[in-house]
Copies of this chain bind each other. A is one copy, B any other.
Amino acid sequence: MKRIAMLILLACVPCWAQTSTQGHPATSNITGAEFPKVYSDRRVEFRLKAPDAQKVQVQIGGATLDMVKSADGVWSATSEPQVPGFHYYALVIDGVAVNDPDSKTFFGVGRDYSGIEIPEAGVDFYALKEVPHGEVRELWYHSKTTDAWRRCFVYTPPGYDANVRSRYPVLYLQHGAGEDETGWIRQGHANFILDNLIAAGKAVPMIIVMDRGYAAKPGQPVSTVFGPGAAPVGSPESLKVMKDMSEVFGTVVLDDLIPFIDARFRTIANRDSRAIAGLSMGAMQSFQIGVGNVDSFAYIAGFSGAPMGFVFGGNQLDVKTAFDGVMSDSAAFNKRVHVLFVGVGTAEAERFHTGVESFHKALDQAGIHTVYYESPGTAHEWQTWRRDLNEFAPKLFK
């Protein structure tokens, strides 16, 4: 009996030791915060001191976990192993979803939200590495279309300031619904992805412009789709908001943003040196703006999204007649658009996976050449989109 107890003890010590010692504070934590802690098997332990709360939960990866209160009033819960990448999450204190005070915040789901970074073993294409780094610039410009000031972020590649005679191609890169112009840097690490690709000689040095995908005619209210008072996402009202907004946004891009960027930066200001890409709602916008304006863009990509008529919007779109019939002559279109990239995660919800796949198939059947990329094991999340960008950027401007 003693011997069995001893064996159990011996067997358990390593388990316990693994759990308690192989965890690390998430890199998305604020400085000094021990929790959330990510274990080597990608389970995450969350904690919150809340002696007077009746119930505390954590919402992550589609699950809601009840946290358990200790004698000292600290609540804790450990999640199932998480998929690598970046996940939004919330703590729920007596029914109210709030940020974890120990997490940095990231604008998503219409507000500043907690997020957690789960490392992917052996993968560092989006990490800050010992390579030359570009800059990310915050700029304000006035839009005639909206009669308002707008903020955009611009990545300039390493050497941009030193090589004063060089001109650069430009990728316009859009966030998803409920996110904003900060998303591709803060959540996506687009700057590090490009720094690393350029250092490895895999991508040409390029400028990336990240604008705010929300726009409204002068005096009209602007919605962030997920924000307060917004209609349920996917509802007809919400789709109409997205559609109307994206039309105005398309005008902003063509009439205000591109002229501003071409005037301010040393761009190569022609279609062969201009790309547009986006994720989810941004994918919808990129197809609409890019395919709708092939005089302005020669490279077009959508990550986890498709034009209205796929994913959202009911009827399937006829790609032959859509966009003023620009794809009806597939040979001409294929010659004109150098890369049409369609990406999706294999673990996305049915609606997205089927919607994007259907769009890809429709293009195929119409004789339109595409690059189709499936991100293995990832859902409608930033790891999918980081991988998409890492796949798409090397195909640009060559």
Query: Interface on A for B, CB 8 Å cutoff?
Result: 30-34, 48-55, 93-99, 101-105, 110-112, 128, 130, 133, 135-142, 149, 161, 164, 185, 191, 214, 221-224, 227-230, 264-265
Contacts and interface: CB of A to CB of B under 8 A. Distances in A.
B94 A50 contact: yes
Given A128-B140, A133-B140, A50 B96 contact: yes
A53 B96 contact: yes
A351 to B, nearest CB: 25
A137 B137 contact: yes
Contacts of A228: 30, 32-34, 102
B112 A227 contact: no
A214 B110 CA distance: 31
A33 B11 CA distance: 54
> Which of A55, A133, A164 has the most CB atoms of chain B within a 10 A radius of its CB?
A133
Contact of A32 (B55, B94, B227): B227
A224 B52 contact: no
A102 B93 CA distance: 16
Contact of A110 (B31, B48, B139, B227): B31
A52 B95 contact: yes
A30 B99 contact: no
A227 B33 contact: yes
Q: Which applies to chain A's interface (DSSP): helix, strand, loop or mixed?
A: loop
Given A223-B31, A227-B33, A230-B32, A98 B98 contact: yes
Contacts of A53: 93-96
A137 B136 contact: yes
Contacts of A51: 95
A229 B34 CA distance: 9
A185 B138 CA distance: 10
Nearest to A97: B101
A31 to B, nearest CB: 5
Q: Which of A31, A99, A111, A128 has the most CB of B within 10 A?
A: A31
Nearest to A98: B98
A177 to B, nearest CB: 12
B110 A30 contact: yes
Contacts of A265: 161
A107 to B, nearest CB: 8
B110 A50 contact: no
A139 B133 contact: yes
A30 B135 CA distance: 27
A222 B31 CA distance: 8
B111 A224 contact: no
Contacts of A31: 110, 214, 222-224, 227
Contacts of A141: 133
B227 A161 contact: no
A299 B133 CA distance: 31
Contacts of A93: 53, 93-94, 96, 98
A266 to B, nearest CB: 8
Contacts of A223: 31-32
Contacts of A214: 31
Nearest to A30: B111
Contacts of A105: 99, 105, 112
Contacts of A191: 138
Contacts of A224: 30-32
Nearest to A48: B96
B128 A95 contact: no
A139 B135 contact: yes
